[in-house]
Amino acid sequence: MSELTILCDVQACAIIYGKHDTQDEVWPSSAGVQRTYTKFKTMPSMEQTKKSLQGFNMEDLNDLGWMINHKVEEINRKMKKVNDELAQNEQSKPCSKNITATSDQRQNDEHAANSGITYGDDDPARPLATSADGGA
């Protein structure tokens, strides 16, 4: 029932009677049912039937269901196409982080060459030795 109220943008309540149940079930609560019913009864009759399915036969409802399903499938196809295009655009963009890292690495390499610092393979930011301490 909650999904129905959200999807259809309506207020709703339910009273569920069972053959073998000793107590009726209500949704959302007894007070919620009372509020919804009171609000409905105070609406003008034109407003009460505005979102109603009265007057539709089973064939009309089936057609309506088919149209809704068709529209949902169409929307899903369009969303997939847009998502695929976005993913493709992301893959084809040059990664600015890699460009920056390459530029920073080049500066580190130039600095190392000028100062005699040797960098390790596992962590290029950490010098292994300098020519002053007898390293490489």
100: tokens are 């920056």
* H-helix or E-strand spanning residue 26: strand 25-27
Q: Which secondary-structure segment (H or E) carries 5?
A: helix 2-8
> What residue segments make up the domains of the chain, in order of their start?
2-81, 96-133
Q: What is the pTM of this model?
A: 0.36
Pairing of strands 117-119, 25-27: unpaired
Q: Residues with Cβ < 8 Å from 106, sequence gap 6 or more?
A: none
Query: Tell me: the pLDDT tens digits for 33-87?
Result: 999 999 989 999 888 877 677 778 888 888 988 999 999 999 999 999 999 999 9
